[in-house]
Structure 1
Amino acid sequence: MTESQLITFWGKARAHIIVSQAAPTFLLTAVVGFLALGLATADPAVRIAAAGILLASGIFGALAQISAANEGLAVIADLRALEAPSALTRCIIAMAPWVNVVRYVTPAIFVIVYVAILASLFFSAPAMPFGR
């Protein structure tokens, strides 16, 4: 593959990483907002459904992020093999350690937030919405 093709593949992997974070981030934010509005006092089936939706979305999002990150690292490995890399290629290669944030740190943060939400949904005393 040419350098240009590899850079195009890198751009696609990067875009997939960004897009794969949108749905889980939105859902986590929405559930935190719903908790503030009283979701913790909702029927247990609703709370279980919310937890299940978050879990499914989180697993899918993590798998998409890890897959895109692995593809990005494969592109970086191919870019490293080029004899005379451009400045852009050298910049992409320098990003390799940060791709591991997507592979490990982002899913770990999701797990921490998910556990906190579960604790709020099932183990904390329900608060009244809007401080009433």
Structure 2
Amino acid sequence: MTEHELLELWNKARFHIVVSQFAPTFLLIVTVGLITLGLATAPLFLTLATVGILLASGILGALAQYSSATQAQAIAEDLASVKNPSAATRQAIAFSKWLNVVRFVTPTIFVLIFLLLTAVLLVG
């Protein structure tokens, strides 16, 4: 593959990382909003459904982020073999180590937020 093609793949992977955060973030914000409006006192079946939706969305979002970040790191490895790399290529290679934040830190934060919200929803 050419440097240009690899950079296009790099940018697609970064775009997928960003897009994969929309749904889980939106659901977490809505859940916090609903809790403040009294969702925590909802019937148990509704509370469990809410927890299930958050969990499913979070798992899918984390998998999409992990996958895209892992692919971007592989693309950066391929970019590292380019002779006479452009500034954009050098930047992508240098930034690729930060994709571990997307792979590990972001899902950890989601798990912590999920556990806190689940406790609020179930304990009230």
**Residues 23-38 of structure 1: pairs in structure 2 closer than 5 A:** 23-38=23-38
Distance 1:101 1:76 in 2: 16
Distance 2:58 2:73 in 1: 22
CA displacement, residues 70-96 of structure 1 (integer Å, 9 cap, x when unaligned): 110010000001111111100111111
Could you tell me which amino acid in structure 2 is paired with residue 118 of structure 1?
A: T
**4+ residue stretches of structure 1 with deviation over 6 A?**
none
1:97 positional shift: 1.5
CA displacement, residues 85-127 of structure 1 (integer Å, 9 cap, x when unaligned): 1111001111111100100000000000000001100124xxx
Verify: 1:14 aligned to 2:14, yes or no: yes
**Residues 67-86 of structure 1: pairs in structure 2 closer than 5 A:** 67-86=67-86
What's the Cα RMSD here?
0.6
1:21 positional shift: 0.4
Verify: 1:59 aligned to 2:59, yes or no: yes
Could you tell me which amino acid in structure 2 is paired with residue 9 of structure 1?
A: L
Distance 1:51 1:81 in 2: 45
Q: Tell me the percent identity.
A: 53
User: What's the TM-score, normalizing by structure 1?
Assistant: 0.92
Verify: 1:109 aligned to 2:104, yes or no: no
CA displacement, residues 45-66 of structure 1 (integer Å, 9 cap, x when unaligned): 0000000000000000000000
Distance 1:94 1:82 in 2: 14
2:46 corresponds to:
46
Ranges in structure 1 where 5+ consecutive residues have no aligned partner = 125-132
Distance 2:120 2:57 in 1: 19
SS at match of 2:85: coil
* Matched positions, count: 124
User: What's the TM-score, normalizing by structure 2?
Assistant: 0.98
Structure 2 contact 73–97 (Cα < 8 Å) conserved: no
